[in-house]
Amino acid sequence: MTQTNSPIPASPAGSPQFADVVRQAVADGLLGERQPVAGFIDTDGVRTSVAALRNAFPAMPHTLHTFAAKASSLVPVLRLLAACGMGCEVASPGELRLALDAGFPPADIVLDSPAKTRQEIRLALALGVAVNADSFDELRRIDELRTRDSVSVLGLRVNPQVGGGSIEAMSTATATSKFGVALHDEGAREAVVRAFTERPWLTRLHAHVGSQGCPLELIARGIAQTYELAEEINGSLRTQRVTSIDIGGGLPVNFADDTVRPSHADYVAALREAAPGLFDGRYALVTEFGRSLLAKNGFIGALVEYTKDAGGRRIALTHAGAQTATRTVFMPDAWPLRVGAFDAQGRPAAGPLLVQDIAGPCCFTGDVVAHGRELPELREGDFVVLYDTGAYYFSTPWAYNSLPRPAVYGFSRGAGGKGVRFAPVRDAQSLDSIARESGLAHADSLTRLGAGARAGGEQ
């Protein structure tokens, strides 16, 4: 993809999204010289997105919508989602800890780590957290570790191998993907049926086909194959052994404008088309959406520290770069972001458009979040906003250059338009914290190591 046919428009038309929030954040000092970059989460928007997800699925008694914790691994966000009635999908001991701290009941947590340790499995089984095994080897570990009184729902992840989308690194259902049991490999299907035959406690099939860059029909085809496998297992065992299907997440997000497309309702329509039986009530459903719930409900705001011209190109040096928009900086064509320009008071910038690069604070040349973007001319003290960054951006910063994790705030416009109110979600990382996490407690350990031996050798 070249810069000229980038799907990202030059600048948002009309009054840019979240203009009232940016204005208030600047007025309140949440964004400015003291704090040059921060993440913001629209809590009203999160509630609306969860309601839309719930409404998109038919009202069946046993549907559990979980949120994929890695998409926004922040305890207050997870607690908000728990309060909205969601469960939580976790993929590491750290994410499990966050989900428990957020208050999810263990029965509403699903553990999908790709490389679960014995200790991790033991803890999940003791708590009653659902576990999806990623391989037959892992099933054998569960054979060893499972106690009779464990109430964990246990499943097996399969890879329907329906192929990938436009982003290789985000495609989970390719022939050689590292995830799940590769269904079309020789003998795999029979082995899956056997695994269920041998284990009466194995009752769930799991697939996560996606994510960003995958067309809906491809994802739906993968889920349809998983459903057909459940039917085959139950047919072969002449009993309904598989009682639930975890269809994963992976709905792609539109980063080109404000509209939500595809919607969760579009996805359900595609699933109905591909696997009508999925919704006839015989199977309890679990979902694991992340990006599609949070991406459009968050943005990054950053101060323009300087501007310069280089080789005929205007560059705005801001505080939002690879530390908070890592994927976009390294794969700008796969992960383009819309950028909004705001003046020093946080008002939408006006004035003639100018082609500019929006660069970040990291010490490497490629630290540019938007190349050759037409925006009103940015000046020192102005602000930029990176839209659609509510999932996988400021919540998962990169520690490059010892840049601090940015602060995160939730906001609500409240009922009756009383104005924007903010609440802290994560404090900005302090310099003391950076030093501590960089081994300060062991400052002398390397200079001391071997010092005795060297002294001995000189005698």
Active site residues: 363
Closer residue to ligand PLP in complex, CB, 23/204: 204
Cβ atoms of 430 and 33 within 8 Å: the answer is no
Cβ atoms of 234 and 241 within 8 Å: the answer is yes
- What is the pattern of x (binds ligand PLP, CB under 6 A) and - over residues 59-78? ---------x-xx-------
Closer residue to ligand PLP in complex, CB, 30/86: 86
Binding segment (CB under 6 A) for ligand PLP, from list 3-11, 20-28, 143-151, 246-254: 246-254
Closer residue to ligand PLP in complex, CB, 91/359: 91
Binding segment (CB under 6 A) for ligand PLP, from list 6-14, 204-212, 272-280, 345-353: 204-212
- What is the pattern of x (binds ligand PLP, CB under 6 A) and - over residues 17-56? ----------------------------------------
Please report how close the Cβ of residue 273 comes to ligand PLP at its closest, in angstroms: 20
155: left (phi over 0), alpha (psi -120 to 50) or beta: beta
Please report how close the Cβ of residue 100 comes to ligand PLP at its closest, in angstroms: 19
φ/ψ of 75, rounded to 5, equals -55, -45
Binding segment (CB under 6 A) for ligand PLP, from list 34-42, 249-257, 328-336, 431-439: 249-257
**Which position among 248, 298, 346, 376 is part of the footprint of ligand PLP (CB under 6 A)?**
248
**Which position among 292, 323, 328, 395 is part of the footprint of ligand PLP (CB under 6 A)?**
292
Please report how close the Cβ of residue 93 comes to ligand PLP at its closest, in angstroms: 15
Closer residue to ligand PLP in complex, CB, 294/341: 294
Binding segment (CB under 6 A) for ligand PLP, from list 2-10, 193-201, 283-291, 330-338: 283-291
Asked if 210 is part of the footprint of ligand PLP (rule: CB under 6 A), the reply reads yes
For the record, the structure tokens of 226 come out as 């998983």
The Cα 184–Cα 251 span in angstroms is 23
3-state SS of the chain is CCHHHCCCCCCCCCCCCCHHHHHHHHHCCCCCCCCCEEEEEEHHHHHHHHHHHHHHCCCCCCCEEEEEHHHCCCHHHHHHHHHCCCEEEECCHHHHHHHHHHCCCHHHEEECCCCCCHHHHHHHHHHCCEEEECCHHHHHHHHHHCCCCCCCCEEEEEECCCCCCCCHHHCCCCCCCCCCEECCCCCHHHHHHHHHHHCCCEEEEECCCCCCCCCHHHHHHHHHHHHHHHHHHHHHHCCCCCCEEECCCCCCCCCCCCCCCCCHHHHHHHHHHHCHHHHCCCCEEEEEECHHHHHHHEEEEEEEEEEEEECCEEEEEECCCCCCCHHHHHCCCCCCCCEEEECCCCCECCCCEEEEEEECCCCCCCCEEEEEEEEECCCCCCEEEECCCCCCCCCCCCCHHHCCCCEEEEEECCHHHCCCEEEEEECCCCHHHHHHHCCHHHCCHHHHCCHHHHHHHCC
| 143-148 long-range Cβ contacts below 8 angstroms, 24+ apart | 143/199, 145/118, 145/121, 146/201
Residue nearest to ligand PLP (CB): 290
**Which position among 65, 204, 241, 291 is part of the footprint of ligand PLP (CB under 6 A)?**
291
Closer residue to ligand PLP in complex, CB, 249/301: 249
**Which position among 211, 225, 297, 324 is part of the footprint of ligand PLP (CB under 6 A)?**
211
Asked if 171 is part of the footprint of ligand PLP (rule: CB under 6 A), the reply reads no
Closer residue to ligand PLP in complex, CB, 24/292: 292
**Which position among 89, 95, 120, 367 is part of the footprint of ligand PLP (CB under 6 A)?**
89
Please report how close the Cβ of residue 275 comes to ligand PLP at its closest, in angstroms: 18
**Which position among 289, 342, 383, 393 is part of the footprint of ligand PLP (CB under 6 A)?**
289
Closer residue to ligand PLP in complex, CB, 245/251: 251
Asked if 108 is part of the footprint of ligand PLP (rule: CB under 6 A), the reply reads no
**Which position among 87, 249, 301, 397 is part of the footprint of ligand PLP (CB under 6 A)?**
249
Please report how close the Cβ of residue 211 comes to ligand PLP at its closest, in angstroms: 3
Query: Which 325-384 residues touch ligand PLP, going by CB under 6 A?
Result: none
Query: Which 250-269 residues touch ligand PLP, going by CB under 6 A?
Result: 250-251
Q: From residue 311, how far is each of 302, 356, 357, 375 by CA, in Å?
A: 25, 12, 12, 19
Binding segment (CB under 6 A) for ligand PLP, from list 95-103, 195-203, 282-290, 364-372: 282-290
Q: Which residues bind ligand PLP (CB under 6 A)?
A: 68, 70-71, 89, 91, 112, 208, 210-211, 248-251, 288-292
